[in-house]
Structure 1
Amino acid sequence: MINNKKIPTGILGFPTAPLNENGNIDEKALAINIDFLINEGLSSIFIACGSGEFHAISRAEYQKMVEVAVETTACRVPIYTGVGGNITDAVELVKLSEDLGADGYLILPPYLIDGEQEGLYNYYKTIVQSSHLNAILYNRDNAIVNLDTLQRLINEFPQIVGLKDGHGDMELNLEFTNTIGDRLEWLNGMPFAEITMPAYAKIGYSSYSSAMSNYMPHISRMFYDALLEGNDELVNEIYVDVLLPINRIRKAKKGYAVSLIKAGMEIQGFPVANTVRPPCVPVEEGHYEELKKIISSTLEKYPVTKTETSKL
């Protein structure tokens, strides 16, 4: 039996971890970030995940970020937290997320070790069986489950409701979607997911995490709607005019997948400084100015309208 409770679909919101002048989490800025994403029609909030610098926040900061998300969201959309790394910590974060009122969680890769499939199965099993919250597996880096392992897990645990792919093995993804079908929600979690979404959408991945939505959500919506409607001309225009130029900057430095979001938000007037925690680095001045020009030209060609938010 599939667990249909608050499964995230469409465009998924991944807020950042805004820092104040003292280097601490800026709770007010985080609430603004979350409220903006919801008001712009994103289907769900994924708090303290990759964009939220899961790797660099303390347990107390993690708890505060989830608390802010629960309070700000106010049941308008489902909330998913990031868990992972050390298996003991992951289980504790699942329990904390449940206590704080989250709807589910995304399991980030374990630390460092490349495990065999049996090891990955036991890693996920230990985490998932600790709670009845919805769980989403994340195929990337050192945690790539194959078809047999995924089928074994979903047959045992109905609370596993989705798989997010950040690995990019399309042969494996086709095996998943053609064999498992709609038992899971398929989420494109590649860095700057809009870049690969035209390919993913054709094989059944109808949802994706959008970093760009933190500062230009109308472009994410426009692109997504054009994909679903088969408007290839508009898809190609946005791809060439907006997505590829931003992606070239993103690939210029390791860690820009996180820091470029904050730079875009700062350019757009959000109270988020271009500041990240190590090992990420802030966007350097030249790249910052490039992004500024891209955003300006994008808004000129594709202005924000006051039309009704599309259904994501």
Structure 2
Amino acid sequence: MKRTHQCPTGILGFPVAPLKENGELDLKGFEANVNFLLESGLQSVFVACGAGELHALTQEEYKTIVKTAVRLVNGRVPVYTGVGGNVKHALEQAEISAEVGADGYLILPPYLISPSEDGLYNYLKVIIESTELSAIVYQRDKCILTKEALLKLCELPQLVGFKDGVGNMEFNIEAIQLIGDRLEWINGMPLAEVTMAAYYNLGYRTYSSAISNYIPHISAKYFNALQRGDNQTVHELLNDIILPIHAIRKRKEGYAVSLIKAGMNIVGLPVGTTVRPPVAPVESTHYGELKEILGRALEKYPVSGITTEVEVT
């Protein structure tokens, strides 16, 4: 069957991998996470990616998570997976994703090695071509593309998007001018709401939201205001919520994952706060600070009346 390759747009939801206190995968917690995102109106779900601790999952756990997500979503929104690291593992993950009915995958960086331009191109190409699923490349860490290499990858019909987690504005401007709307441009900077206003002016209309796991209505309110040109609301949300959370996140490596679980635990989602090494749990002082921020945020910006179904222009 021929697939139509199309990238998810708007606010992208990235569920975590909830763990029991003994470190085992908590599928009930995962189901609650995915259902919460769907009920909140998120327009896509990306499972077993960075927030989902792909680096720490066995291939069997990976398959279980992907199958569960596909079953829960049941075609309502696109389901993407994370693939990456060891190229053989990445290819196995791509095959699993295709086998269980995912719509596509986000390619995370290869492990440890700093590749040459042609080596990185070959790594991405072999993964993209391995299935007919839609693919998104993720620029970060050991995966730093030149605009020429990205343009060459655009010859592959499976490639639908480019996610930037580096923040090189010169590269972004040049790449968008060179490639245009051939790709969906996705802001994947740490706490993307912090930088989305700048990215929006470059032509980025899509971003991954860590805080959508626990305050999706804030993500929606922010993005709706950004699209309307409501600078006052953008400014207030940045100062009241987004920048304070970002300040906590920057205090310790690994908080990109564990702070999400802490936020979800604070708002009552049954995911716990357990993470797998080398990620460390949120320190009690930081947990308390996050709890205070969320308490003030939910008082000033109640959930009712806000949907994450934004109109991307």
Whether TM-score is above 0.5 comes out as yes
Amino acid at match of 1:71: R
3-state secondary structure, aligned to 2:161: strand
Whole-angstrom CA distance in 2 between matches of 1:59 and 1:116: 28
Please say if residues 66 and 100 of structure 2, whose CA atoms lie closer than 8 Å, have aligned partners that are also in contact.
yes
Which residue is 2:86 aligned to? 86
Which residue is 1:179 aligned to? 178
3-state secondary structure, aligned to 1:158: coil
Amino acid at match of 1:64: T
CA drift of 1:20 comes to 1.5
Whole-angstrom CA distance in 1 between matches of 2:118 and 2:77: 35
Which residue is 1:254 aligned to? 253
1:18-52 superposed Cα distances (whole Å, 9 cap, x missing partner): 01233111111111100111111111000000000
Unaligned 5+ segments in structure 2 are: none
Structure 1 residue 128 corresponds to structure 2 residue 128: yes
CA drift of 1:273 comes to 1.0
Please say if residues 220 and 307 of structure 2, whose CA atoms lie closer than 8 Å, have aligned partners that are also in contact.
no
Structure 1 residue 107 corresponds to structure 2 residue 107: yes
Which residue is 1:300 aligned to? 299
Give runs of aligned pairs for residues 270-309 of structure 1, distance below 5 A.
270-306=269-305
3-state secondary structure, aligned to 2:202: coil
Unaligned 5+ segments in structure 1 are: none
Please say if residues 25 and 61 of structure 2, whose CA atoms lie closer than 8 Å, have aligned partners that are also in contact.
yes
Whole-angstrom CA distance in 1 between matches of 2:36 and 2:165: 25
Whole-angstrom CA distance in 2 between matches of 1:297 and 1:283: 20
Amino acid at match of 2:8: P
CA drift of 1:306 comes to 3.9
1:106-141 superposed Cα distances (whole Å, 9 cap, x missing partner): 000001111111111111111111111100001001
Determine what percentage of the aligned residue pairs are the same residue: 55
Whole-angstrom CA distance in 2 between matches of 1:307 and 1:269: 19
Which residue is 2:56 aligned to? 56
- What RMSD over aligned residues (CA atoms) do the two structures have, in Å? 1.1
CA drift of 1:308 comes to 5.5
CA drift of 1:4 comes to 5.0
Amino acid at match of 2:59: R
Give runs of aligned pairs for residues 56-75 of structure 1, distance below 5 A.
56-75=56-75
Higher relative contact order (Cα pairs below 8 Å, separated by 6+ residues) = 2
1:121-165 superposed Cα distances (whole Å, 9 cap, x missing partner): 11111111111110000100111111100111112x011000000
CA drift of 1:191 comes to 1.0
Which residue is 2:164 aligned to? 165
Give runs of aligned pairs for residues 137-152 of structure 1, distance below 5 A.
137-152=137-152
CA drift of 1:311 comes to 3.1
Whole-angstrom CA distance in 2 between matches of 1:273 and 1:309: 24
CA drift of 1:103 comes to 0.3
Normalising by the residue count of structure 2, what TM-score does the alignment of the two structures yield? 0.96
Please say if residues 6 and 78 of structure 1, whose CA atoms lie closer than 8 Å, have aligned partners that are also in contact.
no
Whole-angstrom CA distance in 2 between matches of 1:223 and 1:272: 25
Please say if residues 106 and 137 of structure 2, whose CA atoms lie closer than 8 Å, have aligned partners that are also in contact.
yes
Normalising by the residue count of structure 1, what TM-score does the alignment of the two structures yield? 0.97
Structure 1 residue 22 corresponds to structure 2 residue 2: no
3-state secondary structure, aligned to 2:154: helix
Amino acid at match of 1:243: I
Please say if residues 98 and 133 of structure 1, whose CA atoms lie closer than 8 Å, have aligned partners that are also in contact.
yes
